[in-house]
Amino acid sequence: MLKQKYRSFSVSVLDPSRSGIKIKSLDRSGEELINKAINDKKKNKQIKANDPIYVVFDRDKHDKKELLRCKKLARENNITILFSSICFEIWILMHFEPVFSSYSSDELFKKLSGPKYFDQDYKDFKGVDIRKLRPFLFDNVQFAKDNADKLYKIHHDMINDDPFTNVGNYLKEIFQTNEL
C-alpha cells in the first residue's frame, strides 16, 4: 500500500517472482530474519554494498538477550531494524489514535476489531490483500507517523520499552519522500 501511495519504483525486495515490496510472514525470530537478509545480500549480485536493507519484526517471544544480539548483528551488517512492541499492530493502531499504553497482541486485535477502527474481526485483515486495508490506513500515514514520533520521544529503547515502534522513523527514507 505504501509503495503505491508513494509511487516508489525504486523500493524492491529480493524476490524474482515479483518486483516491489513483499510482505511475507516468515514466522522466524529476528535473528533468523537478519541472517537471512545477510545471506540474501551475499547471494544477490543486484544488491550493492551500500544499498539499504530493512528487517521488520516485533517483540513476540524475543527476550532482551535476543534483541541485543539482533541489534549487534544488524549494526555489524549495515541492516536497519524496524521494530514494534508488542507487535506490529501497535503501528496500525497509530493510524487511528496516539498510543502510550502497553497492550497484549490479543488486546490490540480486539481493539482494532472495534467500531472506531476496522469494525470487524481484525484477524480477518491479517495477511489479506492490502486493498482491504487501504480505506482504513492509506490517508492516515502522516497521522500514524506523528503519533509514532510522540511515542518515540518517551519510548525510544527497543529493548526495554513497551509500547515501542520505530516504523515511522524510516518511511521517508524508504520511500524517498518528504510527505507522508
- Distance from CA of residue 33 to its chain's centroid? 13
Alpha helical stretches, state H, the chain: 2-5, 30-43, 64-76, 89-93, 105-112, 134-137, 141-154, 171-175
Report the distance separating Cα 136 and Cα 153, nearest Å.
26
Ordered strands of the 53-58 beta sheet = 53-58, 79-85, 164-165
Higher-pLDDT residue of 124 and 20 is 124
- Residues contacting residue 20 through CB under 8 Å, at least 6 positions apart: 3, 11, 12, 13
At residue 55, φ and ψ (nearest 5 deg) are -120, 130
> Rounded mean pLDDT of the chain?
83
56 is a domain residue: yes
93 is a domain residue: yes
19 is a domain residue: yes
180 is a domain residue: no
- Tell me how many domains the chain contains: 1
134 is a domain residue: yes
- Rg (C-alpha) for the chain, rounded Å, is 16
Per-residue pLDDT at 20 exceeds 70:
no
Higher-pLDDT residue of 98 and 50 is 98
Report the distance separating Cα 101 and Cα 51, nearest Å.
35
75 is a domain residue: yes
Higher-pLDDT residue of 39 and 124 is 39
What is the domain range of residue 14?
A: 2-175
18 is a domain residue: yes
Digit-coded pLDDT (tens) for 92-136? 999 999 999 999 999 999 999 999 998 888 887 776 656 677 777
Per-residue pLDDT at 25 exceeds 60:
no
Give the pLDDT band of residue 51 (cuts 50, 70, 90).
confident
The half-sphere exposure of 151 on its side-chain side, counting CA atoms within 13 A, is 29
Cα distances from 165 to residues 60, 119, 121, 136, 174, in angstroms, run: 13, 24, 23, 20, 16
Q: What is the pLDDT of residue 68?
A: 97
Digit-coded pLDDT (tens) for 143-160? 999 999 999 999 999 999
128 is a domain residue: yes
Q: What is the pLDDT of residue 14?
A: 45
